[in-house]
Structure 1
């Protein structure tokens, strides 16, 4: 029995390693074929990406980008663990950043008080906006996919209206940028100065804290168990006494609260205002990163770093004469390869498990037959 358990544990480890390894090999091969089809040398491209991506300034850029992407991935993953598809992270973080920027620009409090207020405001706005989709789902049966898509559009329209100079925004001296009132310098988040390589945003520590809380809450608490149970089977969870409707709304609120943090690294560490050039599409990037990381906090972190690496290095490839669309191709290939590889490995593992169970049952039947023959 101990030998069987040991063999099963070894197979689980091998399968866990096989999935990302298979995805990586497949992604590299397909990307190389795409580069060859465009008349470029894939080995030269990969070498250039590794060289440029390992530079100190690139590493700082990648880490800063990954901070934002990681928070987006966690926000999406909370919904995924509940079998909810929160496509509304994009609208939630942008509306949250806009309201938080308005609050930060109006505050005259010292930074130690203003910064927590700005962060809490962003989380509250994101949670409130996401809760609309949760309430619609449990009270009217509206799919969260449809409602969050519509809420994205509404958030964009609300921001576009309120940020106008005659409303709550202001026009810069050049007359090209419309933004909220800038945050006072005392409300800026701290950063780690690395010298010539630039500054690492201090919000990376908040992102790490969010990841730890995500891991602890879902893996070490009763609430996390109930959440995952509802995601696996609503009927089974309800039969065990879990309030499914409350869990759905709570999960959307938590996802929205984390989504509210997505724009904070940019607002507090970079732009210090919300303008019409504020980053778009990070919520949809978070979906890809959550898929890459399999909803695991460490996997999501690796996916966020990989995404930042690809953005940095493929933009450099464009300067070297490569087609600018190569980034989208590589990103799409990686996501597809990861999803397919994990499904292939999952099915193989399930087949192996069935074979082991069948072999064990056959051995038990043979033992019983032999015992009966001896007794007879």
Structure 2
């Protein structure tokens, strides 16, 4: 017990295990009530999720989830709630796809231009909410929600055949001009799979490393976290809280701009009506599940992606795949509750440790006198 009290990592792992166990138990109850056999259902999901093609899909989907969650986590570490990641990444992906499809450049330069355009668009769109917050006191939650709707309208307006859109041959889909091969990122083969892992999975890893280094190992990261914990204390120590708010939103938007890049440059090669949507809202749940830590978010993204992929086998067994949505919701809810319990236990143990140290100091002069 003492070892557990002195190890925050052990507490975190224990909390995650308890939350996962609770979600599995709740899902088993729902399956049993619905007339299905829980062990065989879980076995089918695991077997299907471990097939080579499923593994590729899980990794690819997790990469986008990971980037979306990191974008949300940047705001969370600052005490900001960037709920506009969905609009930021969709607008960024659409404009980056339009720029990338408009011309051809040498391979590496072409890819870099597309990624930079996506980051700039995402940063500028999120920066609007930051500026509104520090200049007019507008809540970033309200501002980013409204900007999501505006982004949807802009995309619908620009994605017309007489503007940036073109009719996709053989379908009713409308999309931007396809990106030339020089702008595409080659996939990574996976043994036994017909599909390939997105090449920009490496970019997701790099963004996670950069997130950790900047937030945890730099003065800027310290100012960011300090401002999120107590703006007044940060100002008293010389930090420009208003500038930090705008900077945090801009960085969050830049990360959001990258969310669509693995799919765009690794598979779709254009932005159309069928481009994945809703990733920003999934990222909020994954950021909470991963406790805004890049490593925790990685595991949470893989878990969420695994549940998404493995749910596809349920329909073949005549089991509603919505059962997985219950599992995901149970995981998220139980993690929030369990981590709060662990946080309170940790604070209580710290208080007890401090009280014991103070009691030992008070007792030592008496023992010496005796």
- The TM-score, its normalising length taken from structure 1, stands at 0.94
2:51, 2:211 → 1: CA distance?
31
Query: How far off its partner does 1:37 sit?
Result: 1.9
Counterpart selection for 1:141 from 125, 131, 137: 137
RMSD value, Cα: 1.5
Greater alpha carbon shift after TM alignment, 34-43 vs 116-125: 34-43
Query: How far off its partner does 1:91 sit?
Result: 0.3
Query: How far off its partner does 1:165 sit?
Result: 1.3
Report whether the alignment pairs 1:322 with 2:323: no
Query: How far off its partner does 1:337 sit?
Result: 1.0
Counterpart selection for 2:361 from 355, 358, 364: 364
Distance 1:359 1:255, change over 3 A: same
Mapping for residues 123-162 of structure 1, pairs under 5 Å: 123-162=119-158
SS in 1 for 2:197: strand
For residues 168-190 of structure 1, give each alpha carbon's deviation from its aligned partner in whole angstroms, at most 9, with x where no partner exists.
21112335111111111221111
1:193, 1:43 → 2: CA distance?
33
2:249, 2:182 → 1: CA distance?
33
Greater alpha carbon shift after TM alignment, 162-171 vs 251-260: 162-171
Report whether the alignment pairs 1:15 with 2:25: no
Q: Which residue of 2 aligns with 1:251?
A: 248
1:18 and 1:345 in contact (8 A); partners too: no
- The TM-score, its normalising length taken from structure 2, stands at 0.96
For residues 130-153 of structure 1, give each alpha carbon's deviation from its aligned partner in whole angstroms, at most 9, with x where no partner exists.
000000000000000000000000
Stretches of structure 1 that go unaligned for 5 or more consecutive residues are 1-5
2:220, 2:265 → 1: CA distance?
32
Q: Which residue of 1 aligns with 2:26?
A: 30
2:5 and 2:346 in contact (8 A); partners too: no
Query: How far off its partner does 1:11 sit?
Result: 4.1
Q: Which residue of 2 aligns with 1:3?
A: none
Q: Which residue of 1 aligns with 2:36?
A: 40
1:8, 1:319 → 2: CA distance?
44
Mapping for residues 42-81 of structure 1, pairs under 5 Å: 42-81=38-77
1:13, 1:208 → 2: CA distance?
22
Distance 1:13 1:193, change over 3 A: closer
Query: How far off its partner does 1:196 sit?
Result: 4.3
Distance 1:340 1:212, change over 3 A: same
1:172, 1:117 → 2: CA distance?
24
SS in 1 for 2:188: strand
